[in-house]
Amino acid sequence: MSIDTTTPFSDATGDIERKRRIGRAFVAICFASTLVGIVALVALIADVLYESWGWVTWEFLTYPPSQSVDYFLNGTRGAGMYPAIVGSIFLIALTAVFTIFLGVGAAVYLEEYAPENRLKSFIEANIANLAGVPSIVYGLLGLAIFVRAMQLGASLIAGALTLTLLILPIVIVSTQEALRAVPDSQRQAAYGVGATQWQVTRDVVLPRALPGIMTGTILSLSRAIGETAPILMVGAATSMFVAPDGLRSAFSAMPMMIFEWATLPQAEFQHVAAAGIVVLLTILLLMNAIAIFIRNKYDPRS
Amino acid sequence: MSVDTDQGVDITDSGSSINNRKNNFVRYVFFSCALVTVLTTLGIILVLVQGSIQFFSEVSLIEYFTTTNWSPVIEPRSYGVLPLIWGTLMITVGSALVAIPVGTATAIYLSEYADPQVRRTIKPTLEILAGVPTIVYGFFALSFITPIIQTFFPQTGTFNAAAGAIVVGIMIIPMVSSLSEDAMSAVPDDLRNAAYGLGATKFEVSTSVVVPAALSGIIASYILALSRAIGETMAVTLAAGMAPQITGNPLEPIQTMTAYMVDIGISDVSVGSIGYQSLFAVGLTLFAMTLSMNIFSMWIRSRYREEYQ
């Protein structure tokens, strides 16, 4: 910063007044910028609620989709996103099973077992890089490996495996943080009574870190449930009229249905898409609320 | 927590060796889990390179990178990727024009001016923006942003680059603001107090002391946010359209690399056709761009980081 040292006293009051004005203008600009993000969020939610008003009905949650927009209207036969809702729930449940096993396993290895060597830093750098890979690239990976090479087809399990690889880096990092928060004295105490490393991990570290692990995993799964691009590349269907009934069955998912409706030319389908978004965001909100509840209830610091 | 003392204090030889064997087995299981992440990276590279090799055995690299017409599925076919790269760059630059000024000013406000209570409320609220599914942003662009643009510029079509750039910009504001705020909060108060001692105003401290001291973290946040904008898919597919062209007019439709991949993904392109192979060539181009930006961001952070005690 440049402080004017030539005339320190002659025009001090004017100078201070000018600096005050600059300061006030600067705060105003920064505060206005902060409001931009918040206003955008409010506008987004208001827009979705306004467009979907009257379109989220019980029939919308319990009937299969229809090509004719009239069926979606309240009071008519009924059309909705039932197969996509069930598809998304199955997809996320499967993803959760794979993710918890692989994510916790990898994090436990890195935090509890791995010696501080080049292999460990390589794996950690690799995980950081994977977190920055665009989700559609994971879709290509799933398409080539799970759908084609392993011949799983455009199935529920291929979609779940693809989403697992997508969120694995986030789950590993959040689980590592939860494991790191377990005080070392507790490990030492267990070693002191003769426990092996596996016993220490299973009986001391994991129970203590469980709330943190759950919070991180649920938050990651709530990201997976809104992902469209990877399951689109894997081949999730938009015109599914029944819920999936097995690991190998074709499936639809909520974001796929929303994408389909949003691209249809009839203006009424904008309302149907908005209704789908309301359902998706409600489920997201629920998952986040559960995660925050677990954190607040079991966090030893609070 | 309960320590299983029955096994834990077993000091007989046989007991320990069973425990040791179990311990080693578990170690390998956990190691394999960690290995999955390495295999994922290898898998991505392998899949993209293999598909690209098939593509480039029929299309020359020179045609791919120098010609300006992209139409790999519809006759007459041509394979110049530049329109897709141009579309991606328009979205990236446009979103940067939104997110960098707004995100940086937000970070300065939160770090230097807001009281802790306000910061604790606003920061997570802004981070909700990053958690909203991108398909929702696409819908928001179509139903809210584009109509607003159309009231000012009536010739704007349903699909236009500007709406895509604006929603992607909104989406990455929290990446810039949160990461930059972290970097600014890490600047020690000693530096601020030293500047105040010299008679600096709060404005001067913020812009001439805190921002330069946190610059590596701030720049790294910009690059990460831009890398996210490059890979952003659903919002730009819905908002910016499916028309690969090189245009300087943000009110016209364009097509990004990611939107092209969606276009092929939802159409019935047979496996092994040139259209299918082009997915992997475009995917590799995209992957190379985001990977180099992510590595650049990490390098800046580690190279220029100021360590404070």
Average pLDDT for residues A95-99, to the nearest whole number?
96
The domain spans of chain A are 85-298
A100 shares contact with chain B (CB less than 8 Å): no
Residue A154 tokens read as: 């455009």
B12 shares contact with chain A (CB less than 8 Å): no
At B19 the pLDDT is: 78
At A302 the pLDDT is: 46
Average pLDDT for residues A37-53, to the nearest whole number?
95
List the single residue in A with minimal CA-CA distance to B28: A109
Residue B102 tokens read as: 């707004």
At A162 the pLDDT is: 97
List the single residue in A with minimal CA-CA distance to B45: A141
List the single residue in B with minimal CA-CA distance to A154: B265
Binning pLDDT at 50, 70 and 90, where does residue A12 land? low
Instruction: Tell me: pLDDT of A11 over 70.
Output: no
Residues of chain A found within 8 Å of residue B139, distances taken between Cβ atoms: 48, 258, 262, 270, 273-274, 277
CB-CB under 8 Å, B102 with A109:
no
- The answer to whether A37 touches B173, Cβ cutoff 8 Å, is yes
Instruction: Tell me: pLDDT of A250 over 80.
Output: yes
At B233 the pLDDT is: 94
Instruction: Tell me: pLDDT of A58 over 50.
Output: yes
CB-CB under 8 Å, B135 with A126:
no
More confident residue, A71 or A229: A229
Residues of chain A found within 8 Å of residue B146, distances taken between Cβ atoms: none
How far apart CA B270 and CA B272 sit, in angstroms, is 6
For A56, the 3-state DSSP assignment is coil
Cα angle value A152/A155/A157 (rounded, 5°): 80
Residues of chain B found within 8 Å of residue A255, distances taken between Cβ atoms: 133, 135, 234
Average pLDDT for residues A213-235, to the nearest whole number?
93
How far apart CA A276 and CA B43 sit, in angstroms, is 34
At B231 the pLDDT is: 94
List the single residue in B with minimal CA-CA distance to A224: B133
Residues of chain A found within 8 Å of residue B22, distances taken between Cβ atoms: 196, 198
At A109 the pLDDT is: 95
Can you name the CATH fold of A85-298?
MetI-like fold (1.10.3720)
Residues of chain B found within 8 Å of residue A172, distances taken between Cβ atoms: 37
The domain spans of chain B are 5-57, 70-304
Residues of chain B found within 8 Å of residue A128, distances taken between Cβ atoms: 294, 298
Residue (of A161, A157, A174, A176) closest to A99 by Cα position: A161
A1 shares contact with chain B (CB less than 8 Å): yes
**Which chain B residues in 116-175 lie under 8 Å from chain A, judged by CB atoms?**
122, 125-126, 128-129, 131-140, 142-144, 170, 173-174
Instruction: Tell me: pLDDT of A10 over 60.
Output: no
How far apart CA B242 and CA B244 sit, in angstroms, is 6
How far apart CA B155 and CA B173 sit, in angstroms, is 29
List the single residue in B with minimal CA-CA distance to A170: B37
Q: Please give the helix or strand (H or E) that residue A300 lies within, else none.
A: none
At B253 the pLDDT is: 94
CB pairs under 8 A between A and B: 288
How far apart CA B252 and CA B246 sit, in angstroms, is 10
Q: What are phi and psi of B70, to 5 degrees?
A: -115, 110
Binning pLDDT at 50, 70 and 90, where does residue A2 land? low
**Which chain B residues in 184-203 lie under 8 Å from chain A, judged by CB atoms?**
195, 198-203
Average pLDDT for residues A94-115, to the nearest whole number?
95
Q: State the best of B9, B21, B26, B84 to mutate against chain A, taking most chain A CBs within 10 Å.
A: B26
At B267 the pLDDT is: 85
B36 shares contact with chain A (CB less than 8 Å): yes
Instruction: Tell me: pLDDT of A239 over 70.
Output: yes
Residues of chain B found within 8 Å of residue A117, distances taken between Cβ atoms: none
**Domain B70-304 homologous superfamily, CATH:** MetI-like (1.10.3720.10)
A267 shares contact with chain B (CB less than 8 Å): no
Residues of chain A found within 8 Å of residue B202, distances taken between Cβ atoms: 23
If DSSP states are collapsed to H, E and C, what string results for B63-84? HHHHCCCEECCCCCCEECCHHH
Average pLDDT for residues A139-158, to the nearest whole number?
93
CA atoms within 13 Å, Cβ hemisphere of B26: 19
A208 shares contact with chain B (CB less than 8 Å): yes
At B110 the pLDDT is: 95
Binning pLDDT at 50, 70 and 90, where does residue A8 land? low
CB-CB under 8 Å, B136 with A44:
yes
Residue type, A259: F
Average pLDDT for residues A127-131, to the nearest whole number?
92
**Segments of chain B scoring below 50 in pLDDT:** 1-3, 5-14
At B17 the pLDDT is: 77
pLDDT tens string B93-119: 999 999 999 999 999 999 999 999 999
A181 shares contact with chain B (CB less than 8 Å): no
Residue (of B142, B228, B220) closest to B183 by Cα position: B220
At B1 the pLDDT is: 46
How far apart CA A275 and CA A244 sit, in angstroms, is 22
CB-CB under 8 Å, B3 with A34:
no
